[in-house]
Structure 1
Amino acid sequence: MNGLGELEAVVMDVLWEADTPLRVREVLDRLSTSRTLAYTTVMTVLDNLHRKQWVLRDKDGKAYRYRPSGTREEITARTLRRMLETSTDPDVVLLHFARSASVRELAVLRQVLDERSGDR
């Protein structure tokens, strides 16, 4: 997933697949990576994801339980919004994106624009 490191993306996949919030140990146990990871490594990744607002955490005794702060699609849209807001020229970014969009993506954008123009 764009905007995330390889391990962060794998951890997010674990959280999105989970039915309930998970502790660090539970995330570690569910990770399928080619290398052995330390508990503290996963804890650091989860802390970074929390700082980036990709995950929420709730205190559970002395530990935290982690859950995604939204669906994959919601977080991706939020990331795109932040990138536009921090760009020095968001209009140019949108133009580049529109030029690179597939026919299907353009159809979705057209549908939303038509809906919004009907709101006026």
Structure 2
Amino acid sequence: MPEPSAGRRPSGELEASVLAALWAAGGRPLTPADVQRELGTALARTTVTTILARLYEKGSVSRARSGRGYAYLPVQDSPGLAARRMRSELDKSASDDRGTVLARFVSGLGPDDEKVLRELLAQAGEAPAAAGDGHGHGTGNGRESVHGNGSHAGDRMGDEEVR
């Protein structure tokens, strides 16, 4: 993959900055101009709009009509989004590789993370299977999936009018 040119930040870094601005808004929908102002950088509004559109396409933000454009909200908090990304990466693995992927993930954990994971697995063993997606996989965001594919009713607001 080519190195970003001097002065340019990788798309992932821009997405993280935009999401941080949305989370900092405390649930208030932000337009691209609002995000640009919150970032306080020399990013062009078109760049911010493009990043927001990409985040929308990925399902990381929802959008609602605001005048002639859109206002955006994150669909999950930072830990929820990280868990969703981890699950997405796991789902990309061939089914026979899942055990290997999980084993390598666990072997790379530090003692503190391993302890937390063991405690969470013990709690999950005590909880009814309905708390997750039917396979013991909850999302950890309090809005457990009933669709089996990780999607949640209400993740996207659609294109509703924001006033």
TM-score strictly above 0.5: yes
Give the secondary structure class of the aligned counterpart of 2:76: coil
User: In the aligned structure 1, how far is the partner of 2:81 from the partner of 2:38?
Assistant: 22
Give the secondary structure class of the aligned counterpart of 1:64: strand
Higher helix fraction: Structure 1 or Structure 2? 1
Question: Alpha carbon RMSD of aligned pairs, Å?
Answer: 1.5
Q: Which TM-score applies when normalising by structure 1?
A: 0.88
1:53 Cα deviation from its structure 2 partner: 1.0
1:61 Cα deviation from its structure 2 partner: 2.2
Tell me if 1:107 matches 2:126: no
Residue correspondences, number? 115
Query: Structure 1 residues 116, 47: closer, same or farther in 2, change over 3 A?
Result: same
Equivalent residue for 2:56, pick from 37, 50, 59: 50
Q: Deviations over 1:29-51 (max 9, x none)?
A: 11144xx2211111001000111
User: In the aligned structure 2, how far is the partner of 1:28 from the partner of 1:116?
Assistant: 41
1:119 Cα deviation from its structure 2 partner: 4.0
Give runs of ≥4 in structure 1 deviating > 6 Å: none
Aligned residues with identical type, % of pairs: 37
Name the structure 1 match of 2:23: 16
Q: Which runs of 5+ in 2 are unaligned?
A: 1-10, 129-163
1:118 Cα deviation from its structure 2 partner: 2.8
